[in-house]
Chains A and B, each alone.
Chain A
Amino acid sequence: MTGRWTADLIFGARLGWAGGRDGWIRTAMTAVGVGLGVAMLLTAASVPAMFQGRHDRGAARDFSASIGAPLAKSDRTLTVRRYETWFRNSSVYGLELQPDGPGAPVPPGVDRLPRPGEMVASPALARLLATPDGALLAPRLPYRMVGSIGADGLIGPDEYVFYAGSDRIAGREDVYRIDRFGNPGGGPEELSPMLALLVVIIFVVLLLPIGVFIAAAIRFGDEHRDRRLAAIRLVGADSRMARRIAAGEALNSAVLGVLTGAVFFGVGIQFVERITVGGITVFTSDVSPDPVFAALVALAVPAAAVGITLLALRRVAIEPLGVVRRAGATRRRLWWRLMLPVLGLALLYPLIGQVGATGGRLANAYQVAAGAILLLISVVAVLPWLIEGVVRRLRGGGVAWQLATRRLQMGSGTAARVVSGIAVAVAGGIALQMLFSAAAAANTVETGQDTARAQVQAGFGPGDGPMDAATITATFRAVPGVRSAFTVTQFYGVDPAAQPSASGQPVISVLIGGCGALAEIAVIDHCADGDAFVVNGRGEAGAQGAATPGPGQRVRIGDVEWTVPAAVRPALPGRDPLGREAGGVLATPGAPGVAALPAANVQTLMRVDPAVPDVYEHIRNASFRLSPDGYVNLLQSTRESDRFTTIRKSLFVGLVITLLLIGVSLLVSMLEQLQERRRLLAVLVAFGTRRATLGWSVLWQTAVPVLLGLGLAAVAGAGLGAVLLGMIGEPVRFDWASMAGVAGVAAAVVLLVTALSLPALWRLMRPEALRTE
């Protein structure tokens, strides 16, 4: 028995090769299709390792473990100071390092500590500095490059990192003394349950269509194969042998597909370092699929190929004189198809309201995934029934419409099969979008910053050297692209007469700035240099804010005692562009006693013309020239969780890739069908059929199932989305715009497929096909 099985399987496998050029092309097509799918699966299987690698290296260079308790200076300690700046949209992470002795720890990826004035940089940063654009960053890194940081010291290949040697940071306030790098417990925080839910759903949504795609790829060239099997039956094979031979053929191309997939994957990851998804790039070495999962793929895909083939053949009777499709005879049944969504809902329903939007972990990830998979798979199950039922009722219309609908009536199975991939992707996409709208609301923080009034904030601390506000303002104003700038100096003082209490002394905020600057902060009727105001507001100091000081109030600031001028006038509190409410004393530089105040924090707010290229880089450089230790922030009205942004971007990319992949299978089946009908097409051309008529019929033939699929997908996706929203306790909202967006991408894919199949149609419409083969 097994002998016969193997013999037939091998015979089938050989047929895949021996079928002449056509057979060869079909085998290759299936192999490439399956290969693409397998490569995607392997990529997905590598994601955990990818994140693990990034996480591990992040932890390895983290030095916070030794921050807890202050260390005594020793031979084995190192003083570090974080230096962080931005270049365009990428952050540049740097440390200034000053060893306390010869045994000082060395960060990973570096052999030795750079000497003062030297630096080592990540390859990406070194490359950047070598380009003309790098000249915008170079002034901020005034070190001699003496080496590069190895991959084990970097999270990703695109990271901008440098370590600079220094001999002047010891003793500063903003430094840490450490004795080692590496923090096993450190690294990025865990995903919140909502984000975890999103990730689970994203995986389901992206992987499911790939599965559908692989299933479709295995059935490329089905009808041709059936006819070949009929010929084999004619020479004496029985129907079971025919089935086994078919299984052998499928097995052959599936195994070939797995190998192709491995090659695609192996070649693809060589280029992975050049790909940025949501600002993340990964090392080739990080992309290694989970071995268990990879083995599973390698076994499951061929097994599925055999299973799908045998299942598909149950609807087909291969007789010696040809192939009889049984589809017409048995109407598709609905009840078992509806079981899937019901089961899925049954799994998800108990979780409604159970997944906390914040805090805790996503405990039921598997249940969620299973439920979501069932709901999405039900699209695949219901779609053939839906298409068959609807198409049966279509009639009338023009010739193109008639040709298309009649063709679908004859057999809509292939169409349903191919479209179901699109439908699953769209349904998942819609559910995700709904979840995203909610997650976006939850993960987006209103910063209160008013970006209409200012776009950039720069600041310096008292330790950054004595600087007067006028110089700072003038320097920034001189940067091309800066439209206006105002600078304030912030002092915090205490009432020398007040007794220190348990909760500490009340703080009195004193803000010095020009009249223009003060007008941005508080509502001031008129102002001239020398004026001072008191504002009854909470002040930046928040809860600790002192009672509003009155005229003559004495304030101790550092070593200096200052008296609130007698001519101080009350003013109404306003909000500065950062959204902070002013409070305390506001004084102009000419007010009495102000000149005697010590150095303090200085802040400049700027309005810029964002159209001026690299205006932010020029501002950063100006700030660096004033003092290397200043900071520059860009104002944002809202701040999304970085991680969230990344997920959203990757989702969209993944969805588009998936849809394109499915577009490929749509195209293949379309071309196959056209090829099959070439003689008929030629006859129609002989009859004087217009090209447009046939083009339209091709479009309708694709569009009708796709439209039905999209409709079903919208229902299933909205349903899944609603359940998921219910799970995290969010009100159900339908995000029509993004639903339309997802559907639009799918529709674009259909149009693309039709457009791409038209050249083949034109070619096949040439009269040569009139010849009988």
Chain B
Amino acid sequence: MNDRGVPLLVGRDLHKSYGPTAALDGASIHVRAGEIVAVMGPSGSGKSTLLHCAAGIVPPDSGRISYDGRELNAMSDVERSALRRREFGFVFQFGQLVPELTCLENVALPLRLDGVKRREAERRAAGWLDRLEVADIAHQRPGEVSGGQGQRVAVARALVNRPRVLFADEPTGALDSLNGERVMRLLTQAARESDTAVVLVTHETRVAAYSDREVVVRDGRTRDAELVA
């Protein structure tokens, strides 16, 4: 498993401070295609910040991030947005679905943002809802479904544009064990089937156990288990 080729996404020696607090203080991460990497560490250690930097949402103060040979820092905001739209998917802990849109429309949103026609986008979205076993709530609004269902809708939305990297920040944080298991099983299954790499921020070992490899963040610094070994 250690030599699955060149990394798809590499962040090296990342620094990021918010005022006096150094959220990242020399963190590094690399992700190969199709690989599931768990990012672990105590609360406030900088996991989310690392994810945001790696995904090109937050520019780091220093350090380099390259995706598929391209420097993220060198891209314009527009290019980074387009990259996120086409190549990345996101799942957060909660509060991520647009409350006014139905679940189906929510899942179709990334496709539509990228210019896919509504009918086609919703057809593909329906397929994903089916795969994540929530086809029955397609026409309900996020406010009317349970947390677990909502999270599965979010996973469907993150995967609908067949991203090469899925970023998930505590995707099961607000769910009970059973629902958490379900979401993780469906997420990892779907990701593996479509050869999507996953960056999975979690503080639960049981969730991290779905990964291939873990990266530990402590005080803004990473310890990549693989590099140490």
**Chains A and B touch (C-beta atoms under 8 A apart):** yes
Residue in chain A with minimal CB distance to B95: A679
Interface 1/0s, chain B 96-110, versus A by CB < 8 A? 101111000100011
Q: Does B223 contact A (CB under 8 A)?
A: no
Q: Closest A-chain residue to B157, C-beta based?
A: A687
* Contact indicator A771/B48 (Cβ below 8 Å): yes
Distance between B111 CB and nearest chain A CB, rounded to angstroms: 10
Known: A686-B84, A687-B90. A399 touches B109 (CB 8 A): yes
Interfacial chain B residues near A690, Cβ < 8 Å: 78, 81, 113
Stretch at the interface among A195-203, A404-412, A454-462: A404-412
Contact B95–A688 (Cβ < 8 Å)? no
Q: In the complex, what residues of B have CB within 8 A of residue A90's CB?
A: none
Q: Answer yes or no: A347 CB below 8 A from chain B CBs.
A: no
Most buried by B among A399, A686, A690: A686
Interface pair B81/A688, CB less than 8 Å apart? yes
Q: How many interface residues does chain A have, given as a range?
A: 20 to 34
A400 → B minimal CB distance (Å): 10
Of B52-60, B191-199, B208-216, the one touching chain A = B52-60
B22: Cβ under 8 A from any A Cβ: no
- Assess the A409–B100 pair: CB atoms within 8 A: yes
Interchain nearest-CB distance for A554 vs B (Å): 98
Give chain B residues whose Cβ lies under 8 Å from the Cβ of A767: 52, 57-58
B113 A687 Cβ-Cβ under 8 A:
yes
Between A402, A680, A770, the greatest number of chain B beta carbons within 10 A of the residue's beta carbon is seen for A770
Q: Mark A706-746, 1 if CB is under 8 A from B, else 0.
A: 00000000000000000000000000000000000000000
The answer to whether A683 and B90 touch (CB under 8 A), given A403-B101, A410-B100, A688-B82, is: yes
- The one of B81, B86, B94, B96 in contact with A689, judged by C-beta atoms closer than 8 angstroms, is B81
Question: Is B83 among interface residues, defined by CB-CB distance under 8 A?
Answer: yes
Task: Given A679-B95, A767-B52, A770-B92, verify A685-B100 contact (CB < 8 Å).
Answer: no
Nearest CB on B from A37, distance (A): 31
Q: Which residues of B contact A772 (CB under 8 A)?
A: 93-95
Would you call A276 an interface residue if the criterion is a C-beta within 8 Å of the partner chain's C-beta atoms?
A: no
**Which residue of A has the minimal Cβ distance to B82?**
A688
CA A640 to CA B92, docked complex, whole Å: 68
CB contact between B98 and one of A396, A680, A686 (< 8 Å): that residue = A680
Asked whether B98 lies within 8 Å of A684 as measured between CB atoms, the reply is: yes
User: Which residue of A399, A403, A679 has the most chain B CB atoms within 10 A of its CB atom?
Assistant: A399
A residues near B100, Cβ cutoff 8 Å: 403, 406-407, 409-410
Q: What is the minimal beta-carbon distance from B138 to any residue of chain A, in angstroms?
A: 15
Those of A86-138 within 8 Å (CB) of chain B: none
- Whether B12 sits at the interface, judged by CB under 8 Å, is no
User: Are B93 and A688 in contact (CB-based, < 8 A)?
Assistant: no
Q: Give the Cβ gap from B83 to chain A, nearest Cβ, in Å.
A: 7
Contact residues of A between 345 and 387, Cβ < 8 Å to B:
none
Q: Taking the complex as formed, is A633 at the interface, i.e. its CB lies under 8 A from any CB of chain B?
A: no
Within 8 A of B (CB), among A753-773: 767-768, 770-772
**B118 close to A396 (CB less than 8 A):** yes
Residues of B within 8 A of A770 (CB): 48, 52, 57, 92
Bound complex: CA of A434 vs CA of B214, how far in Å? 75
Q: Which of B22-75 contact A (CB under 8 A)?
A: 48, 52, 55, 57-58
A402 vs B98: C-alpha distance when bound (angstroms): 11
| A687 cross-chain contacts in B, Cβ below 8 A | 84-85, 90, 109-110, 113
Residues of chain B lying within 8 A (CB to CB) of residue A689: 81, 85, 113
Check B128 for interface membership: any CB of A closer than 8 A: no
The CA of A148 and the CA of B86, in the complex, are separated in Å by: 78
Instruction: Report the nearest B residue to A692, measured CB to CB.
Output: B78
Q: Is A675 an interface residue (CB 8 A)?
A: no
Interchain CB contact under 8 A, B48 and A693: no
Q: Which of A410, A685, A687, A690 has the most CB of B within 10 A?
A: A687
Q: Report whether B98 and A688 are in contact in the complex, using a CB–CB cutoff of 8 Å.
A: no
1/0 contact string of A11-48 vs chain B (CB within 8 Å): 00000000000000000000000000000000000000
CA distance A406 to B58 in the complex (A): 29
Identity of the chain A residue whose Cβ is nearest the Cβ of B53 in the assembled complex: A767
Q: Would you give the 0/1 interface string for B113-127, flagging 1 where the beta carbon is closer than 8 Å to chain A?
A: 100001000000000
Flag whether B203 is at the interface (Cβ < 8 A).
no
Q: With a 10 A CB-CB cut-off, give which of B81, B100, B113 has the most chain A CB atoms.
A: B100
In angstroms, Cα B88 to Cα A680, docked, is: 18
Is B112 interfacial (CB 8 A cutoff)? Answer: yes
Pair A686/B90 contact, Cβ less than 8 Å = yes
Which residues of A lie under 8 Å from residue B112 when comparing CB positions? Answer: 398-399, 402
Interfacial chain B residues near A683, Cβ < 8 Å: 90, 92, 95-96
B58 contacts across to A, CB distance below 8 A:
767-768
Contact with B along A661-704 (1 / 0, CB 8 A): 00000000000000000011001111111100100000000000
Write the nearest CB–CB distance from B77 to chain A, whole angstroms: 9
* Nearest residue, chain B, Cβ from A684: B98
B1 to chain A, nearest CB (A): 29
Distance to closest chain A CB from B85 (angstroms): 3
| Nearest CB of chain A from residue B144's CB, rounded to whole Å | 11
Q: With both chains docked as a complex, state the minimum distance between the C-beta of B14 and any C-beta of chain A, in angstroms.
A: 15
Taking CB atoms, residues of chain B closer than 8 Å to A693 are 113
The residues of B that contact A771 with a CB separation of less than 8 Å are 48
- CB pair B109 A686 closer than 8 Å: no
A396 to B52, CA, bound (A): 33
Chain A residues contacting B86 (CB-CB under 8 Å) are: 688
A684: B residues at CB distance < 8 A:
98
Max chain B Cβ within 10 angstroms of own Cβ: one of A398, A406, A410, A688? A688
Chain A residue at minimal CB-CB distance from B93: A772
Instruction: Give the complex CA separation of A687 and B163 in angstroms.
Output: 11
- Once the chains are docked, how many angstroms separate the CA of A770 from the CA of B167? 13
A residues 246-268 near B (Cβ < 8 Å) are none
Taking CB atoms, residues of chain A closer than 8 Å to B88 are 688
* A772 to B95 CA separation, bound complex (whole angstroms): 9
Report the Cα distance A679→B52, complex, angstroms: 14
* Contact call A402/B105, Cβ cutoff below 8 A: yes
Question: Interface centre among B80, B92, B94, by most A CB within 10 Å?
Answer: B92
Residues facing B in A401-435 (CB within 8 A) are 402-403, 406-407, 409-410
Contact of A688 among B85, B96, B105 (CB under 8 A): B85
Q: Which residues of A contact B82 (CB under 8 A)?
A: 688
Rounded to whole Å, the gap between the CB of A690 and the closest CB of chain B is 6
A685–B55 alpha-carbon span in the complex (Å): 12
The answer for the CA separation of A688 and B85 in the assembled complex, in Å, is 4
Cβ of B137 to closest chain A Cβ, rounded Å: 17
Which chain B residue has the least Cβ–Cβ distance from A409? B100
Minimum CB–CB distance for B213 against chain A, Å = 24
CA distance A685 to B110 in the complex (A): 11
CB distance from B219 to the nearest CB of A (A): 18
Collect the chain B residues with CB atoms within 8 Å of residue A686's CB.
Answer: 55, 57, 84, 90, 92
Contacts A689-B81, A690-B81, A767-B57 known; A680 to B110 CB distance under 8 Å? Answer: no
State the CA gap A693–B82 with chains docked (Å): 13
Measured in the bound complex, the distance between the Cα atoms of B158 and A686 in whole Å is 11
Shortest Cβ distance from B102 into A: residue: A406
Contact status of A680 and B96, CB under 8 A, knowing A686-B57, A686-B84, A690-B113:
yes
Q: Given known contacts A680-B95, A680-B99, A683-B95, what 10 new A-B pairs fall within 8 Å (CB)?
A: A399-B113, A406-B100, A409-B100, A680-B96, A683-B92, A684-B98, A687-B90, A689-B113, A690-B81, A770-B52
**Can you list 15 A-B pairs, Cβ within 8 angstroms, ordered by A?**
A398-B112, A402-B105, A409-B100, A410-B99, A683-B90, A683-B95, A683-B96, A686-B84, A687-B84, A688-B80, A688-B84, A690-B81, A768-B58, A770-B92, A772-B95
Q: Which B positions have Cβ atoms within 8 angstroms of A?
A: 48, 52, 55, 57-58, 78, 80-86, 88, 90, 92-96, 98-101, 105, 109-110, 112-113, 118
Residues of A within 8 A of B (CB): 396, 398-399, 402-403, 406-407, 409-410, 679-680, 683-690, 693, 767-768, 770-772
